[in-house]
Amino acid sequence: MFRRLAASLLATLALCALAAHAAEWQITQPNVMTIAMGVSIPNDVIYVTGSDNGTGARIMRSFDNAATWEDIKPGNEISLMTLAMHHNPHTNTTTGIAAGIGMYQIFNGMAAAQDNGDTFETIGEPVFVAGYQASGVTPSGTIGVVGMWSPNVREPLTYGIRMTNDNGQTFTDSTWPLEEAPIRYASFPSDDVWYATGGTWPTSTSGRMAGKHHHGGARHHAPRDPTRKSAMLNEFFKFRTVRGNQAIEYLPTSTDPAAHAKDLANYVGVIAKTTDGGRTFNTVFHDVGNFYMNGIDCPSVDHCVAVAEGPAGGHIFVSDNGGASWNQTYTHPEAGLFKVAMVSETHGWAIGGEVNPQTFNGLFPSTEDGGFTWTQAPLVPHVYVNDVACTSMDNCVATAFHRNGQSVILQLA
């Protein structure tokens, strides 16, 4: 009896020791800005982008693993939603692009890092409207910015990818061919091979940012009040700016598939692949009636991990044969998944949140076998995680929306 108790006590202690070593995400910086939405870690320097209510775009940088931060001049952008930084070890220089919302020939929607990331300057031509929600870097340092744009009120809205290999001085644009599922995120495992996700959900067309029309597709009208703008980031969050005041609005939707029965056909999730640097795309994954795709990360040209969300919850898909087939390797019935960051061919983190009518809880599945099996780290209350960057599995920085209306930074303890 006594021996059995001692044995179980030992087992409990061993479990505690294991638990103490397991990765746990914690908020290390509360209320960092109103809307923190992009994180990148070139050469161990952490950059976080987003925007503050009333004052617009914000970029922060930390040289000491998020212990202290400095503000960097962001250019004149209204709000930033994504960030892709690149450190060139041969020249020891850091370049990069922060992108977000451009509008009405006032805000271009993009800024490029100057002077090794000390400042960011607005780049490109003014646009009538632009919404860049994703970006990435090829192994050689070419940066891709993903979203939609229209140069002036007469031009149709183009969805696609804008690539630059001179830090934003010139761009080569690729047009996304799949009208029924606008482009959302992309990964650039080589200069020529890229994968991009697309998707729609029932309310996404009404919430999509205004432009004149999608090339050849449905017409979108400019809002009557040009200072009022909103964009759906996904089914749960609306980015809203009214006369310079910016907020993220949480729109809880039921994850009960029955509640969505009549709308299910409006969930479309696609992945397309290019092998010629964006000249042509082939659809390699196409699903109707279940979810839309979010982030994708491809640690090599044949191996990708992509996340999706819909009324049946969050999903993770993996291909290890160049997109020829995809295996669903994780689902969570009451969650959304926003991004995935592979640290290597084998190791990586997916991020998102459990959603319910009152709040959301940060969700962090991780993999050690290339995405085929996943382990869930402890939930973080009241955050929905929207971006993550890692230098190793236990050295990551994530940005998240908090239920209090502000954004936070999370790191692993």
Q: Which is nearer to ligand NAG, 213 or 403 (CB)?
A: 403
Per CB under 6 A, 230 contacts ligand NAG:
no
Per CB under 6 A, 280 contacts ligand NAG:
no
Instruction: Please say whether the beta carbons of 183 and 146 come within 8 A.
Output: yes
Cα atoms in the 13 Å half-sphere on the side-chain side of 194 = 31
Per CB under 6 A, 247 contacts ligand NAG:
yes
Residues ≥6 apart with Cβ < 8 Å to 20: none
Tokens encoding 331: 């689902």
Collapse the DSSP code of 192 into the 3-class scheme (helix H, G, I; strand E, B; otherwise coil) and give the result: coil
Interatomic CA distance for residues 43 and 118, integer angstroms: 14
What is the DSSP secondary-structure string of 374-391? -EEPPPEETEEEEEEEEE
Q: Which is nearer to ligand NAG, 294 or 329 (CB)?
A: 329
CB of 221 to ligand NAG, least distance (A): 27
CB of 71 to ligand NAG, least distance (A): 18
Interatomic CA distance for residues 47 and 57, integer angstroms: 13
Per CB under 6 A, 151 contacts ligand NAG:
no
Q: Which is nearer to ligand NAG, 245 or 282 (CB)?
A: 245
CB of 326 to ligand NAG, least distance (A): 8
Dihedral sign from CA coordinates of 151, 156, 159, 164: negative
Phi and psi angles of residue 5, each rounded to the nearest 5 degrees, phi first? -60, -45
Which H/E stretch holds residue 6?
helix 2-21
Query: Which member of 30, 54, 139, 381 binds ligand NAG (CB under 6 A)?
Result: 54
DSSP label at 256?
Answer: -
Query: Which member of 140, 152, 327, 356 binds ligand NAG (CB under 6 A)?
Result: 327
CB of 34 to ligand NAG, least distance (A): 6
Per CB under 6 A, 34 contacts ligand NAG:
yes
CB of 245 to ligand NAG, least distance (A): 4
Per CB under 6 A, 373 contacts ligand NAG:
no
Query: Which member of 156, 205, 372, 411 binds ligand NAG (CB under 6 A)?
Result: 372
CB of 289 to ligand NAG, least distance (A): 19
Q: How much of the chain is helix, strand and coil, in % rounded to 5?
A: 10, 55, 35
Q: Which is nearer to ligand NAG, 378 or 405 (CB)?
A: 405
Per CB under 6 A, 91 contacts ligand NAG:
no
CB of 172 to ligand NAG, least distance (A): 29
Per CB under 6 A, 45 contacts ligand NAG:
no
By CB atoms closer than 10 A (0-12, 13-18, 19+), residue 85 is buried
Instruction: Please say whether the beta carbons of 226 and 153 come within 8 A.
Output: no
Tokens encoding 239: 């980015």
- How far is residue 34 CA from its own chain's centroid? 17
**Radius of gyration of the chain from its Cα atoms, rounded to whole angstroms:** 21
Q: Which is nearer to ligand NAG, 213 or 240 (CB)?
A: 240
Per CB under 6 A, 404 contacts ligand NAG:
no
Per CB under 6 A, 205 contacts ligand NAG:
no
Q: Which is nearer to ligand NAG, 35 or 193 (CB)?
A: 35
Query: Which member of 68, 92, 206, 358 binds ligand NAG (CB under 6 A)?
Result: 92
Total residue length of the chain: 413
Instruction: Please say whether the beta carbons of 348 and 367 come within 8 A.
Output: yes
Query: Which member of 53, 203, 275, 300 binds ligand NAG (CB under 6 A)?
Result: 53
Q: Which is nearer to ligand NAG, 174 or 246 (CB)?
A: 246
Binding residues for ligand NAG, rule CB under 6 A, total 10
Q: CA–CA distance from 13 to each of 3, 5, 6, 8, 92 (Å)? A: 15, 12, 10, 9, 47
Query: Which member of 245, 356, 375, 404 binds ligand NAG (CB under 6 A)?
Result: 245
Q: Which is nearer to ligand NAG, 169 or 327 (CB)?
A: 327
Per CB under 6 A, 250 contacts ligand NAG:
no
Interatomic CA distance for residues 317 and 327, integer angstroms: 5
Binding site for ligand NAG (CB under 6 A): 34, 53-54, 92, 116, 245, 247, 327, 372, 405
